[in-house]
Amino acid sequence: MNISIGNDHAGPDYKFAIVEFLEKQGHQIINHGTDSENSVDYPDFAHPVAQNIVNGTADLGIVICGSALGVSMTVNKYAPVRGAVCWSKEIAFLSRQHNDANVLCIPARFTSIPQAVAMVETFINTKFEGGRHDRRVKKISC
């Protein structure tokens, strides 16, 4: 699976751990994140992840910032993107199963790295349930 990842200065350590986990699973990573804790602007790293989803370069995306709110707002500007702010693997599970989320938005200041990796594992391994949820997901985009 091709997975696009982007992060601001709150998430380099998260990105490194997540990329290591995903590569061990055999996934291909498209890295748009910063490797530094020097202050940067989160949209600069979230837009390319969303664009990878839109153009089909990536199957799923992961974005990381302090609260996950800024990156979530950014990726959700793109009609085919459904970015979900998640703080537990249970929420990550439901975001995929019920909402067909295709971008996981991680709040680095409110989760630990092991929690984030567990959310990623759950996110990439959960399938969309469809059925009654399909009707609802089709109503999301404007």
In a domain, 117, yes or no: yes
Q: Is this structure's pTM higher than 0.95? A: yes
Residue 75's domain comprises 2-137
Active site amino acids: 65, 98
- For residue 81, tell me if it sits in a domain: yes
Q: Would residue 142 count as lying in a domain? A: no
**pLDDT per position as a tens digit, 83-133:** 999 999 999 999 999 999 999 999 999 999 999 999 999 999 999 999 999
The mean pLDDT value of the chain amounts to 97
In a domain, 29, yes or no: yes
3-state SS, one letter per residue, for the chain:
CEEEEEECCCCHHHHHHHHHHHHHCCCEEEECCCCCCCCCCCHHHHHHHHHHHHCCCCCEEEEEECCCHHHHHHHCCCCCCCEEECCCHHHHHHHHHCCCCCEEEEECCCCCHHHHHHHHHHHHHCCCCCCHHHHHHCCCCC
What domain count does the chain have?
1
Q: Is residue 40 situated within a structural domain?
A: yes
In the predicted structure, residue 28 carries a pLDDT above the cut 90? yes
Per residue in 64-78, pLDDT tens? 999 999 999 999 999
pLDDT at residue 142 tops 90: no
- What CATH code is carried by the domain that includes residue 113? 3.40.1400.10
- Assess whether pLDDT exceeds 90 at residue 24: yes
